[in-house]
Amino acid sequence: MVIQKKIGVHNITVVKASNVDEFKEWVETNFIEISQQYVSGIEDYINRGYYYFVFDVVELEGYQTVEPIIYTFESDKLYYPIEITSYSQDFSSINLYILCYGVIDKETIYKPGLWPMAGFGEYVEVGRDELKEISDEIAIMDSAYFMYSKYEGNLSKPKDLVVEKDEVYTPSVFDKIGDWFGKLLDKLGLWYLLPSLSILLFIGFLGTYFHIILVDII
């Protein structure tokens, strides 16, 4: 199956492949000759149940702003292909911005060689209005947590990012309070008070908790 469509400067071709030899023949007929490493990699993807591949050809003259393309598909896991990048180049810099209903476990980010940069230790929650400014499609969520991770270096042994549901944690109210409290202490330079004040997180009424914290800090 082959679907072709032009969107702006993007010439997009979506291919469903179940046979690597037929895929290789089609690519080399319509695009360019591909290496045996690339063929072996595609075969590995097919064997793992990934049958759809996208070719996006952009032809530009000089420097221009290119509108991004949104790919939407149903999945029971968060998935981002990194391994396929190594088939065409040895070195790469990948900036991955993630919006998710919860916070992804750092260890899951480390597995493919990504480095967690922001949104993992401190929660960055984005509301629906802010999501709508990004895209109406993304604004189907009431809120989301923003995370930023990065890969830069040699692509000799990369792995795809695969995040299962049990590797995503939705912060509780107390988690958010603790995060807010930590940021407040950091801003005020009062981290030395943390051992004596952290116990207050679990005692008293929520309103009293805030009252006690403010009184003790003052």
Domain identity same for 146 and 125: yes
At 78, list the tokens. 């968060």
Residues 167 and 74 in one domain: yes
Domain that holds residue 37: 1-67
Claim to verify: residue 116 and residue 58 sit in the same structural domain: no
Question: Which tokens hold the place of 26?
Answer: 């089609």
pLDDT at 47: 92
pTM here is 0.69
Per the model's pLDDT, the better-predicted residue between 156 and 132 turns out to be 132
Number of domains in the chain: 3
18, 100: one domain: no
Is residue 101 within 8 Å of 170, Cβ to Cβ? yes
Residues 148 and 79 in one domain: yes
The closest alpha carbon to 146, from 124, 164, 168, belongs to 124
Using the 8-state DSSP alphabet, how is residue 105 labeled? Answer: P
What is the rounded average pLDDT of the residues 119-142?
Answer: 84
**Using 50, 70 and 90 to split pLDDT, how confident is the model at 115?**
confident
Average pLDDT over every residue of 150-163: 79
Last residue of a domain, one of 67, 86, 107: 67
Instruction: Please tell me whether residues 77 and 164 are part of one structural domain.
Output: yes
Whether residue 46 sits in one domain with residue 110:
no
Looking up tokens 């070195």 gives 91
Q: Say if residue 75 is in the same domain as residue 144.
A: yes
58 vs 158, more confident: 58
User: What are 75-109's pLDDT values in tens digits?
Assistant: 888 888 888 877 766 667 888 888 888 889 889 99
- pLDDT above 50 (res 210): no
C-alpha span between 85 and 95 (Å, rounded): 13
Q: 74 and 40 share a domain?
A: no
Same domain as 149, residue 76: yes
| CA separation, residue 198 to residues 102, 177, 201 (Å) | 24, 11, 6
Rounded to whole angstroms, the Cα distance separating 146 from 16 reads 32
Overall average pLDDT of the 148-177 stretch: 80
